[in-house]
Amino acid sequence: MALPTAWLGTSLGSILTISLSIPENDLRKANVVQSAPTGAMFRLKGSILSMSLLDCNGALIPYSFESWREDSKDGKEKRERTPTKTSSTKMSPTNPDGLCDRQFIAIASEKQAGVFALPSQNCVYRKKLVDFDFIVKAEIISMKDSVCLICYASNGHLMVFTLPSLKPLLEVDFLPLADLRYVRQMVRQ
């Protein structure tokens, strides 16, 4: 059984992977959650802005998590009626020998984007996004039948890249960050 992990992006461009050992349901109040770094670390230039997991075909793997709810006065009654576990999770295809890479992690920072194979942690694609400016916002989204990385740079460029290959699809002038701040200030007044 695989242990759950937490992936932490830092302002220094590192991604740390923390393994979590969660006690069984009946022991959760008595035992603590244990965590330990797995040793996996990825580095890019600039602060980490976005990261997502892709399966072996490059499709976006949806986030799988369990909702957390506080106990209320009538907590037990409500807890029995309200399911907190995800009803279905998508799994990527697996190879019977278990030794090959089966997933990718796509990471975007203020300066670079990288795609790493998992579990080998090899960098399969890396792209310098900007020279002198920085990326303000980066998102990994599904668009039609493909997955894309969309970046908004401080110079006003809007860039779209394919995933996992990081090939440029589109680059257009949108609105420089300085102009965007001015527009926001004028709208507030």
pLDDT in tens, 124-139: 999 999 988 899 999 9
The answer to whether position 133 is within a domain reads yes
CATH number of the domain that 141 lies in? 2.130.10.10
* Secondary structure of residue 97 in the 3-state scheme: coil
Q: Which residues pair with 47 in a beta bridge?
A: none
Answer yes or no: is pLDDT of 172 > 90. Answer: yes
Q: What single DSSP character describes residue 60?
A: B
C-beta of residue 157 within 8 angstroms of C-beta of residue 116: no
Specify if 89 maps to a domain: no
Domain count, the chain: 1
Task: Let me know if residue 10 belongs to a domain.
Answer: yes
Q: Is residue 188 over pLDDT 70?
A: no
Question: Would residue 88 count as lying in a domain?
Answer: no
Catalogue the E-assigned strands of 62-156.
Answer: 103-109, 112-118, 123-128, 135-143, 146-153
pLDDT of residue 167: 95
Q: Is 68 inside any structural domain?
A: no
Considering the domain boundaries, does residue 137 fall inside one? yes
- The answer to whether 127 touches 113, Cβ cutoff 8 Å, is yes
Per-residue pLDDT at 74? 53
Mean pLDDT of 140-167: 91
- In tens, the pLDDT along 101-123 reads 789 999 999 999 999 998 888 89
When mean pLDDT is compared over 26-35, 66-75, 165-174, the highest value belongs to 165-174
With a CB cutoff of 8 Å and minimum separation 6, the contacts of 119 are 101, 102, 103
Enclosing domain of residue 30:
5-60+100-188
pLDDT category of residue 99 using cuts at 50, 70 and 90: low
The strand ranges marked E within the chain are: 5-9, 14-21, 34-43, 48-55, 103-109, 112-118, 123-128, 135-143, 146-153, 157-162, 168-173
In a domain, 67, yes or no: no
The pTM of this model reads 0.70
Instruction: Answer yes or no: is pLDDT of 80 > 70.
Output: no
Model confidence at 185, in pLDDT bands (50, 70, 90)?
low
158 lies in a domain?
yes
Nearest 10 degrees: CA dihedral of 10, 16, 19, 22? 0
